[in-house]
Amino acid sequence: TRDQVHNFAAGPSPLPTTCLEEASLGLLNYEDTGMGICELSHRGKEFKAVIEGAEADLRTLLGVPKNYTILFSQGGGTGQFSAVVLNLLAAHRLSHPVPAEQFQPPVLDYVLTGSWSSKAYAEAQRLCTPPFPNCPGFGQPRIAASTKSTSWTRLPTREEYKFSQDAAYVYYCENETINGIEFPPKQEDEGAFPFDLVPEGVEVVADYSSSFISRPIPNFSRHAIIYAGAQKNLGPSGVTVLIVRNDLLVDTTEASKLGCIPPVPITYEYKILADNGSLYNTPPTFPIYVSALVLKHLIKNKGGLEGLEKTNKEKAELLYNTLEDAEKKGKARLVVREKNARSWMNVTFNIEGEGEEKKFLEGAEKRGFRQLKGHRSVGGIRASIYNAVTMESVQLLCEYINEFCK
């Protein structure tokens, strides 16, 4: 049963049981309508209340300022690798209304700290490739900093960042789910994202997919776009949350008329989504419904963002301390070598010794610990400890690690 396992999945990941219980009732008979939530029109009053409630609760939970719009979109985090490029190129084009012959495709600065930021960069490169000879292309993706040469085991130092003065935007991934790297939460912490080094007027975009609503977002208002797939801390996969500064909700058809850039595919245009309250086309109603239940639960029962931050910090500290002890005994090795760069959400490590990792996973499975295997691209062990993973589950995992070391 659900009570007998401890689910450490990286995503889709566990959701609060009480929310799933409520959702299972709503799936059959939503608020006594005799119809399930998936059987109701997305334009009816019931669903309208759900999506508006989700938006309002997210705004409260995260403290989203008034000059930002919250959007519910589809296509996952990966969809945003593309949408960010196209929407921001359009905004940039509108603010540079020079004749087409004089237009210079802008630099797009990417900070690479692991697999997901690398994928986002690769997509920017793909989209910006000139479609025919002598075409300058749409934009010039560039690496502003990268820790690839040290296998993504640390964050860049301040000296390593080389931002372009005239970039359309700087892009970073706040938490690298596969590698277990996260920017530390306080601006004074070593390794913190260097907002102060980003030239004035250059927009900042952040992928928060795997750390969304786990703790406050530092320097919120320095961001142009913050986005996250729901399937870690928020709800089922299928919905992607976007928080976009209002002046970047631009008409990309108008931008394309100036020449040099294409319009954005219609369901990916932020302005279209915003003008239609995220209901331009049929949204993923069930994932939005469950996300709405989770948001209510986090506000009411988990102490909001401050409560979540405190618990998540305690969980991460306990697990990292246990693994550091195991490392001293020569039994384990943490993947991320800098303490400040260690993710609060995805704890990555290896078990030392021939065949020991397999033994560790088998023992874990017997004790009810599930989905601990590292991502297929890097191997090892990954314990994801998102909001819905309880302190008790983390404590039991730590007991097992200690026992295994003996």
76-94 and 115-128 are packed helices; what angle lies between their axes, rounded to 10 degrees? 50
**Segment near ligand PMP (CB under 6 A); pick from 47-55, 204-212, 246-254, 354-362:** 204-212
Subset of residues 218 to 277 that bind ligand PMP, contact rule: CB under 6 A = 229
* 48 is annotated as an active-site residue: no
Q: Which of 9, 37, 90, 173 binds ligand PMP (CB under 6 A)?
A: 173
Q: Which of 116, 121, 270, 400 binds ligand PMP (CB under 6 A)?
A: 116
Under the binding rule (CB under 6 A), the answer on residue 118 touching ligand PMP is: no
Report whether 347 contacts 253 (CB < 8 A).
no
**Segment near ligand PMP (CB under 6 A); pick from 72-80, 139-147, 281-289, 303-311:** 72-80
Residues whose CB is less than 8 angstroms from the CB of residue 205 and which lie 6 or more positions away in sequence, other chains included: 84, 88, 169, 170, 171, 172, 223, 224, 225, 226, 227
CB of 223 to ligand PMP, least distance (A): 16
* 152 is annotated as an active-site residue: no
CA pair distance 99, 132, nearest whole angstrom: 20
57 versus 207: smaller Cβ distance to ligand PMP: 207
73 versus 322: smaller Cβ distance to ligand PMP: 73
CA pair distance 75, 47, nearest whole angstrom: 21
65 versus 379: smaller Cβ distance to ligand PMP: 379
**DSSP SS3 for 26:** helix
Name the nearest CA neighbour of 139 among 175, 105, 169, 170.
Answer: 105
Under the binding rule (CB under 6 A), the answer on residue 180 touching ligand PMP is: no
67 versus 377: smaller Cβ distance to ligand PMP: 377
CB of 334 to ligand PMP, least distance (A): 20
Catalytic residue among 57, 109, 152, 207: 207
**Segment near ligand PMP (CB under 6 A); pick from 56-64, 202-210, 259-267, 326-334:** 202-210
Report whether 59 contacts 305 (CB < 8 A).
no
Catalytic residue among 232, 302, 315, 331: 232
CB of 11 to ligand PMP, least distance (A): 5
**Segment near ligand PMP (CB under 6 A); pick from 63-71, 205-213, 307-315, 333-341:** 205-213
Q: Which of 7, 9, 11, 261 binds ligand PMP (CB under 6 A)?
A: 11
CB of 224 to ligand PMP, least distance (A): 17
CB of 77 to ligand PMP, least distance (A): 3
Mode of pairing for the β-strands spanning 240-245 and 225-229: antiparallel
Report whether 381 contacts 351 (CB < 8 A).
yes
* 116 is annotated as an active-site residue: yes
Under the binding rule (CB under 6 A), the answer on residue 106 touching ligand PMP is: no
What tokens does 106 get? 């802008």
Length of the chain: 406
Under the binding rule (CB under 6 A), the answer on residue 78 touching ligand PMP is: yes
Under the binding rule (CB under 6 A), the answer on residue 291 touching ligand PMP is: no
CA pair distance 220, 71, nearest whole angstrom: 16
Under the binding rule (CB under 6 A), the answer on residue 77 touching ligand PMP is: yes
Q: Using alpha carbons only, give the angle 297, 182, 359 rounded to the nearest 5 degrees.
A: 85
CB of 384 to ligand PMP, least distance (A): 10
Under the binding rule (CB under 6 A), the answer on residue 348 touching ligand PMP is: no
Residue reference for tokens 């305690």: 314
CA pair distance 74, 90, nearest whole angstrom: 20
109 versus 207: smaller Cβ distance to ligand PMP: 207
Q: How big is the site for ligand PMP, counted in residues (CB under 6 A)?
A: 11
What tokens does 286 get? 């069930």
Report whether 267 contacts 100 (CB < 8 A).
no
CA pair distance 217, 300, nearest whole angstrom: 20
Under the binding rule (CB under 6 A), the answer on residue 13 touching ligand PMP is: no
Under the binding rule (CB under 6 A), the answer on residue 177 touching ligand PMP is: yes
Residues whose CB is less than 8 angstroms from the CB of residue 225 and which lie 6 or more positions away in sequence, other chains included: 84, 87, 88, 203, 205, 206, 242, 243, 244, 245, 248
Q: Which of 13, 113, 147, 210 binds ligand PMP (CB under 6 A)?
A: 210
Residues whose CB is less than 8 angstroms from the CB of residue 43 and which lie 6 or more positions away in sequence, other chains included: 279
In the complex, the residues that contact ligand PMP under the rule CB under 6 A are 11, 76-78, 116, 173, 177, 207, 209-210, 229
* Catalytic residue positions, numbered: 116, 207, 232
